[in-house]
Structures are given as structure tokens and as C-alpha cells.
Amino acid sequence: MGELIVGLAGTQAGEALALALALLSALAHAIFGAINKGSRDPYLTRGAINICYALGALPFALFVLPWPTPALWGALAGVYLIHIVYEWLQARSYEIGGFTVVYPIARGTGPLMTTLAALVVFGEHFSAGQWSGLLLLTGAIYGLAFANVRALGIEDLAAARRLKSAIGTALLTGCMIALYTIWDAWGIRLAENPFTFLAWFFVLGGAGFPLIAAARWRRLAPADRPELSELATRGVFGALIAYLSFGSVMLATRLGHVGEAAAIRETSIVFATAIGVLIFRERIDAARLGLIGLIALGAVLVKIG
């Protein structure tokens, strides 16, 4: 399978597969975010997910796939550190902010920064049509976040301060999304077999954020701790979704252009908004529906522009 992915890179078939993988990642990531946001404690949930996907990937990393080269181990060390910071910021934003506010802000910050970085790191160039699509997508995502903030109707000063903190954390999360997208794309291209990179990416996650979750568990009062059965259920389901979310987008960046994959993945906003309305009972109006349409249009322009 790894040889097939490498062989398809740079071909028309590879571009088509990259598009499909980016869209699959978008849907999976929206579900992944909802699993974290909908839990009693996003830190503990994320820790449980990481443990489960690490255990699932470990046999493949140890016994099935080729071992990483020294250069790839160096890239994986960077992956470990970058994703710990990203995961903590994401959990923090879910803790203090509404899902339909912090999710669009974080996801809207990533594509533009990723595309600019891909220009420098990978020499990728967008056409004028693609830039217009990217700017439309980014602007519409921020517009959606702003509309969601206004819909909250916050008047309390303490709530306003909490919202300001949530927005700042979401912006930092978006910066980390751009950083990990570029770093992961570089790392997976170092691997002779891209699945070697993916397997060790998931294995290393088991020794990262779960340490933060364990420290939080010890600080919580027994009455505030979720049931272990609930954590295990969310962990297993979240791990399966994580394989699709992170694995698909990394393979997409290996097959095609990093900037395109990053932008198309942000159609996750469309799925996340639907989840926010249907699952979290968050309201949506015609203006926000229009913005969601612009996000989709922007993604289309990025691909065909």
C-alpha cells in the first residue's frame, strides 16, 4: 500500500485521491472535535483517545512496517512536541468556548498560514483563482465565527472575558494547525513507506497528551471524574475517527499539494456546524448558512482555480 501511495504522488489519479482523502478528513475531524467538545472533560477524553490509537498502531509499527530511518526519527521527535502543544490548546479552547465559535476560528487560521508556509518549504504556488478561493474560504470562516459570537448575545463582563480568552486560544490553535500540517507533510515525505510515519505518529501520541490527562485526573475531585467506561468508549470511537482524520490528511499531503489539502480539509466547518446544530442544539440563521455556502465555494475554487 505504501508503494502505491508513493507511485501515485504527482499523478492525476493521485490528485483525485488526495481530494477524496482531504474531504474524508474534513468529515472525520468535525466528528473528532464534537467527541472532545461533547465530553465532560476534553482533556481526559483526548488522553483516552490517544492511548487507544497508540495501542492500535503499536503492532503495525513494531512488526509490520519498516523501521524509521534516523532522519525520520528526528522528524517524529518534532511531531511529538508540536502535537502536544496543539492538543493542549485545542482542549483548552473547547473547555472555555462554544464549539461553533472556537472551531471556526482555529480552522480558519490554519489554511492561509499553511499555504504561505508551503510556498517557502515546498515551493508550491497558487494561481490567482486559487488565492481568491483561499481568501474567500478564510474570510467566510472568520465571518461564521463572528456571527456565532454575535448570536451568543453576551452581556456579562466575566463571560466576555472568557470569550476573549477562548478566541485567543483558538487563534493559537490555528497557528499550531498550520505548523503541524507543514511539519507532518515534510515528515511523511521523508519516509520511504508513508505508513511507517503514520504508525509512529499514532504510537508517539500515546506518550504525549495522556500524561497531561493523567495529571488532570489526579487534580480532579472523585465526583468530577467521568466514569472509566465512558472514557474508554469515547477513546475507542475517537481513535477510529482519528485514524481517518489525521491519517487521511497526511496521505493527502503526500499525494498532492499541501496548501490544497489544508484548504479543502477546512470544509470540516460545514460538517462541524451541522453537528453544532443537530447535536449541541446551537442555533443557526440564514446569514450563517450563506457563509457556510461561501466556505464550500472557496474550497471549490482552491481546487479548480
Model confidence pLDDT, tens digit, residues 51-65: 999 999 999 999 999
Q: Round the average pLDDT of the chain to a whole number and report it.
A: 86
The secondary structure of the chain in percent helix, strand, coil, rounded to multiples of 5, reads 85, 0, 15
Region 138-147: mean pLDDT is: 86
Amino acid type, 205: G
Query: What's the pLDDT tens digit per position in 106-140?
Result: 878 888 889 989 988 988 888 899 999 999 998 99
Tell how many helices (H) and how many strands (E) occur in the chain: 13, 0
275 or 44, which is more confident = 44
Q: In the prediction, which pLDDT does 153 show?
A: 66
**Domain range spanning residue 9?**
2-304
Cα 89 off chain centre by: 12
User: How far is it, in rounded angstroms, from Cα 19 to Cα 248?
Assistant: 10
Are 282 and 101 in contact by the 8 Å Cβ rule? The answer is no
- Residues listed for the chain: 305
207, three cell numbers? 506518550
User: How far is it, in rounded angstroms, from Cα 171 to Cα 6?
Assistant: 34
Domain count within the chain? 1
Q: Please name which of 188, 220, 200 lies closest in space to residue 18, comparing C-alpha atoms.
A: 188
Q: Is the pLDDT of residue 296 over 90?
A: no
Are 100 and 270 in contact by the 8 Å Cβ rule? The answer is no
